[in-house]
């Protein structure tokens, strides 16, 4: 029985961290915060190696150089039952003078809960069974966002660090570099669509749209 528990914990700690890097939608933003009292809603999805996520975001301009946002979505693992995730964050614009590039500091905090299936080997019987375990994920991300406008498009890049902590009977945590970027296409003054590629321990693809009002 003790050997079975040890094998089970090893399976969880090595399999779960791949799913622990995101609890919200992609960056999907330029380095220019929303103007004071301006609002924006968005919807999108993230495609990962072990799970996908889709949901919505509400953003609000606190001041001309500070905006905040909140995400809520569904986390759908490749093996297991769909769960949910939330994320809150903020963007602070940093003056760059006459540079064509805009710069901002960005930070987020997220939480996700889901059930995932793992193949567990029992050395006492020599058999492998499929078991479902509840997983709680906490993430925190901080970094620098840079962007530039080209006609009807905004190109942006991000560099930072991501902290993740997994609880599944025990707990495990890790810190990974976060590197990525994307493009916003402005269909009008209010509507834009985006595509993004991010690497945080794994490759993530994000797509969606935004509406400002």
Q: Which of 74, 94, 92 is nearest to 83 (CA)?
A: 74
Low-confidence ranges of the chain (pLDDT < 70): 1-22, 118, 169
Backbone angles phi, psi at 189, to 5 degrees: -65, -25
Domain that holds residue 23: 2-212
Please name which of 12, 2, 5 lies closest in space to residue 172, comparing C-alpha atoms.
12
Q: Are 90 and 67 in contact (CB under 8 A)?
A: yes
Please provide the size of the chain in residues: 213
Tens of pLDDT, residue by residue over 188-205, are 999 999 999 999 988 999
What's the confidence (pLDDT) of residue 81?
80
Question: Which residue's entry shows tokens 């004071």?
Answer: 36
Q: How far is CA 106 from CA 60, 66, 115, in A?
A: 14, 10, 30
pLDDT in tens, 45-82: 999 887 889 999 999 999 999 999 999 999 988 877 88
Considering the entire predicted model, what is its pTM?
0.84
Number of domains in the chain: 1
Q: Which CATH number do you get for residue 24?
A: 2.40.160.20
């Amino acid at each position: 029985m003790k050997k079975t528990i040890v094998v089970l914990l090893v399976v969880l700690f090595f399999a779960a961290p791949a799913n622990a890097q995101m609890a919200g939608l992609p960056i999907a933003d330029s380095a220019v915060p929303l103007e004071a009292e301006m609002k924006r809603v968005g919807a999108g999805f993230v495609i990962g190696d072990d799970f996908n996520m889709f949901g919505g975001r509400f953003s609000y301009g606190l001041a001309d150089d500070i905006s905040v946002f909140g995400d809520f979505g569904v986390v759908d693992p490749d093996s297991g039952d769909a769960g949910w995730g939330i994320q809150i964050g903020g963007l602070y614009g940093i003056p760059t003078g006459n540079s064509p590039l805009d710069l901002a500091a960005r930070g987020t905090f997220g939480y996700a809960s889901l059930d995932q299936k793992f193949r567990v080997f029992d050395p006492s019987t020599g058999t492998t069974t499929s078991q479902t375990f509840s997983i709680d994920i906490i993430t925190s991300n901080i970094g620098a966002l840079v962007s530039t406008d080209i006609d009807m498009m905004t190109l942006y890049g991000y560099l930072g660090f991501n902290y993740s902590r997994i609880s599944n009977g025990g707990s495990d945590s890790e810190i990974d570099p976060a590197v990525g970027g994307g493009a916003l296409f402005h269909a009008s003054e209010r509507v834009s669509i985006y595509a993004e590629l991010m690497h945080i321990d794994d490759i993530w693809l994000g797509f969606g749209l935004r509406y400002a009002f």
